[in-house]
Structure 1
Amino acid sequence: MSLDVFIMGIAFIFIHLFANELIPSGRIQKLKWFSFSGGLAVSYVFVYVLPTLHKEQILVKKYGDYFTMESELYFVGLIGVLIFYGIQKVVRNAQRNHKTNKARALFWLQILFFGFYNMLVAYTVISHDVLGVQAVFYGLAVGLHFVAVAHDLWREYADIYNKVGRYVLALGIIAGWIMGVLVKVSPLTESIIFAFISGAMILNVLKYELPPDDEAHFITFTIGVVSYTAITMSLKFFFQW
């Protein structure tokens, strides 16, 4: 495990343990904060996740007759969207129907799935050898994404999240580290894992981080999109990411 990955993992764990301490308390400051981080996250999806998913789809063509189309990994990403959306939908329905006990029980399921999600994200960082400057920009976008997800889970059931939930999410990061160091899988399996995580991340970014119209600070959101995109595209050009 490189120093870059180690530092990034420590930052991710810190985020899950203290996410709500990082968010401004004032309403206007909070709107600007979420708008800016949402802009970074949306930019990250379009300039990093989708191009990388396309690159992985091209690479898997060399694995013989298993992949004969141009969209198999995109289908795996769609499965990631469906699974995470389905879980969140079930939890929200229970909350809207005032089934408190059921909703709290289902919230545990949501926490476990996000712990699994964190594990796969951490594993993907190690397996794809994200290093140096690339690690900084990857870590910035994913870190802010984790803050938004953690804050949303905290708003649903703060007591569960503070007592147990945040530790489950942090343990997911540690499990991903261990998996990345000890478990060696085929390049095809790595591509499938990345595709699944990409679908789940796209859903979570658009659901948790794209601010609704009445809560968005458009100028700050635009600054986040333009600045992250411009810097990332420039670094891609110079360093051939």
Structure 2
Amino acid sequence: MEHHVSIWPVLVLAIIHFFGTRLRFLAGVPRSVWLSIAGGVSVAYVFLHLFPELSEGQEQVSKLNWAEKFLSHHVYLMALIGLAVFYGLERIVVEEKYKQRKEGTQEPPHQQGVFWLHIGSFAIYNALIGYILFQREEGSLQNLMLFSIAMALHFIVNDFGLQEHHHDSYRRMGRWVLVAALVAGWGVGYVVELPEALVVLVMAFVGGGVIMNVLKEELPEERESRYWAFALGAGLYATLLLSL
């Protein structure tokens, strides 16, 4: 396959993980309007750009014999699975933190299995995004740009959520793992071309994950999130997507 490779998109997303948590003006309570806007942009992209692509790709998925019965009606089942997986991970982490507070445990988070479970899951998530990013390079520059912008903002939201859970452990180790996973996923795309149907399933899983990972950061009462900022981000990016 002849493929024109642009390395800048994966470099930009990797830099987000390197420096995202250093944007101190985004930290604190009430939640930064910029994080809420970023979350709105990511969700708008999934609903108005990614999911329509999944609808078009359903025909490819239905050609998979092993999936004929399981996914014959809608590929969105994979999006639901993605959402459910990340909801489950969030509950595990939250319950572990509650247990530590209740027992007065002072054990550093990075010594606990829950840290690696959380980071390992996001590493897989990042690797899938890296693969999709490479695949986007086969299409138009416009599609590549729209995906890259949405994921860059989504990574900033994820960075602050993971740092809140794991503190120094995330800054010292977690972000490096996520950067490596992102680049590895992109590299796999360079050497391995998956069937189109599997790429559609990967996109569906990521789409569900994006929705869950954004909403879990916006909804907790203690975050004091600003709905208007989330709606503004979603509305502006939706307007852009619909005008293209």
Cα distance in 1 for partners of 2:227, 2:202 equals 34
Is 2:133 aligned against 1:125? yes
Note the C-alpha offset of 1:65.
7.9
Cα distance in 2 for partners of 1:110, 1:214 equals 21
Note the C-alpha offset of 1:210.
6.0
TM-score normalised per structure 2: 0.84
Q: 1:83 to 1:30 in 2, by over 3 A?
A: closer
- Percentage of identical aligned residues: 29
Note the C-alpha offset of 1:111.
0.6
Structure 2 match to 1:239: none
Deviation per CA, 1:54-97, whole angstroms, max 9, x where unpaired?
Answer: 222233234468425312x2222222222222222112111111
Q: 1:79 to 1:29 in 2, by over 3 A?
A: closer
Listed as ranges, the matches of 1:80-159 within 5 Å are 80-98=82-100, 100=105, 101=107, 104-128=112-136, 129-159=138-168
Note the C-alpha offset of 1:226.
1.9
> Number of residues paired by the alignment?
233
Structure 1 counterpart of 2:200, one-letter code: S
- What SS is found at the alignment partner of 1:24? helix
Cα distance in 2 for partners of 1:81, 1:75 equals 10
Note the C-alpha offset of 1:25.
5.1
Is 2:37 aligned against 1:31? no
Structure 2 match to 1:74: 76
The question of whether the paired residues in 1 share the 8 Å contact of 2:130 and 2:186 is answered with yes
The question of whether the paired residues in 1 share the 8 Å contact of 2:126 and 2:182 is answered with yes
Cα distance in 2 for partners of 1:49, 1:205 equals 15
Q: Which runs of no fewer than 5 residues in structure 1 stay unpaired?
A: 236-241
Structure 2 counterpart of 1:157, one-letter code: H
Structure number with the higher helix fraction is 1
Q: 1:147 to 1:130 in 2, by over 3 A?
A: farther
Cα distance in 1 for partners of 2:223, 2:180 equals 35
Cα distance in 2 for partners of 1:95, 1:66 equals 38
TM-score normalised per structure 1: 0.85
Cα distance in 1 for partners of 2:76, 2:119 equals 25
Q: 1:209 to 1:182 in 2, by over 3 A?
A: farther
- What SS is found at the alignment partner of 1:184? coil
Deviation per CA, 1:130-187, whole angstroms, max 9, x where unpaired?
Answer: 5412222211111110011011111122211111111000001110111100112222
Is 2:175 aligned against 1:172? no
Structure 2 counterpart of 1:45, one-letter code: V
Q: Which runs of no fewer than 5 residues in structure 2 stay unpaired?
A: none
The question of whether the paired residues in 1 share the 8 Å contact of 2:128 and 2:185 is answered with yes
Note the C-alpha offset of 1:27.
5.4
Q: 1:90 to 1:223 in 2, by over 3 A?
A: closer
The question of whether the paired residues in 1 share the 8 Å contact of 2:42 and 2:151 is answered with yes
- What SS is found at the alignment partner of 1:97? helix
Structure 2 counterpart of 1:48, one-letter code: H
Deviation per CA, 1:95-119, whole angstroms, max 9, x where unpaired?
Answer: 1111644964301210111111100
The farther-off stretch of 95-104 and 170-179 is: 95-104
